[in-house]
Amino acid sequence: MTTARRIIVALDFDTVDDAEAIVDRLGDAGQSYKVGLELLTVAGPAFVARLVGGGKDVFLDLKLFEIPTSVAGAVRAAGRLGATMVTVHAMGGSTVMEAAVRAAADFPKLHVIALTVVTSLTDADLAAIGLSATIEEQVTRLARLAQHSGCHGVVASPQDAALLRAELGPDMLIVTPGVMLQAEMSTGAATEHARPAPPAAAIRAGATHIVIGRSLTRAPDPAAVLAHLGDELG
């Protein structure tokens, strides 16, 4: 896996024009993109198909949480689009994740990635919805369940990466949103993620992929930020 494909640029935009502008500015240097619910709702599957047609990896972040039949259908649709990854909620349980993995089997490039705990949540948030586990305990429990269900990887915060790499072994993908550039960490920049970390720290801890959004896409020179990340991680 090349370094460029380990850096997933989050296209968290509400217009197609803004998303396409970033893809154009990054050019060949941008190899992997995240398309989430907001952009998919605005742009539809045709935008994903265009990215795939341009040779890009697409992390289709759908966070599927439905009955097994519906999840399997959505995973097959992601496979037909040519997505490289699709997310399913581990909280859906083993039956849902197993259905997703079976549906993905017909698409060799498609990886089912289980979301453990949303990276904006804290221990207090888990308690508020009736869970007595800490974030660390819940992430570990759901990651084990995802592995036993046949998922190809998990989504977790960069601060969970070392724990999960030790727990899951060398083969599982670990995708980490919530990365912040070191300069932002130093200045205490605002973030929606409860457990952020710099990109290099996430990779050193065992992450296979980092997901970076506004730190790059809202930068004055996104291409320069991507080049710096590539050098740092490489």
> pTM, whole model, 2 decimals?
0.91
Q: What are the structural domain ranges in the chain?
A: 3-233
Nearest by Cα to 106 from 84, 76, 78: 76
63 is catalytic: yes
Decide if 211 contacts 229 (C-beta within 8 A).
Answer: no
Decide if 9 contacts 26 (C-beta within 8 A).
Answer: yes
* E-state strands within the chain: 7-10, 32-36, 57-64, 85-89, 111-115, 153-155, 173-176, 209-212
* pLDDT value of position 24: 97
- Which of 34, 56, 63, 109 is the catalytic position? 63
Q: For each of the chain's 234 residues, which pLDDT tens digit applies?
A: 789 999 999 999 999 999 999 999 999 999 999 999 999 999 999 999 999 999 999 999 999 999 999 999 999 999 999 999 999 999 999 999 999 999 999 999 999 999 998 877 888 988 998 988 888 899 999 999 999 999 999 998 888 999 999 999 999 999 999 787 766 644 545 456 556 678 988 999 999 999 999 889 999 999 999 999 999 888
* pLDDT value of position 128: 93
CA distance 108 to 144: 23
* pLDDT value of position 184: 60
Decide if 21 contacts 217 (C-beta within 8 A).
Answer: no
The CATH fold of domain 3-233: TIM Barrel (3.20.20)
